[in-house]
Amino acid sequence: MTNRAFPAWAGDAEALPPRPFRASMAAVSPEGIIGVDQAIPWNYPADVRRLWRLTRGATVIFGRLTWETLPRRPLRRRRNMVVSRGPVPGAESFRSVGAAVAASAGETVWFLGGTGIYEEAMDYADFLDITHIPDRVAPGPGQRAAYFPRIAPARWRAGPLIPDPDEPGVTRRRYLRRKESP
Ligand X SMILES: NC(=O)c1ccc[n+]([C@@H]2O[C@H](COP(=O)([O-])OP(=O)(O)OC[C@H]3O[C@@H](n4cnc5c(N)ncnc54)[C@H](OP(=O)(O)O)[C@@H]3O)[C@@H](O)[C@H]2O)c1
Binding region for ligand X (CB under 6 A): 26-27, 34-35, 38-40, 63-66, 69, 83-86, 96-97, 112-117, 120, 146
Smaller CB distance to ligand X: residue 109 or 112?
A: 112
Smaller CB distance to ligand X: residue 2 or 43?
A: 43
Q: How far is the CB of 63 from ligand X (least distance, A)?
A: 2
Q: How far is the CB of 51 from ligand X (least distance, A)?
A: 8
Q: How far is the CB of 40 from ligand X (least distance, A)?
A: 5
Query: Residue 9: which of 39, 54, 40 has the closest Cα?
Result: 54
3-state SS assignment for residue 48: helix
Smaller CB distance to ligand X: residue 3 or 37?
A: 37
Smaller CB distance to ligand X: residue 28 or 158?
A: 28
| Rounded Cα distance, 57 and 23, in Å | 14
| Rounded Cα distance, 146 and 105, in Å | 29
Query: Residue 109: which of 6, 176, 24 has the closest Cα?
Result: 24
Amino acid at 88: V
Number of Cβ atoms within 10 Å of the Cβ of 102: 11
Q: How far is the CB of 117 from ligand X (least distance, A)?
A: 5
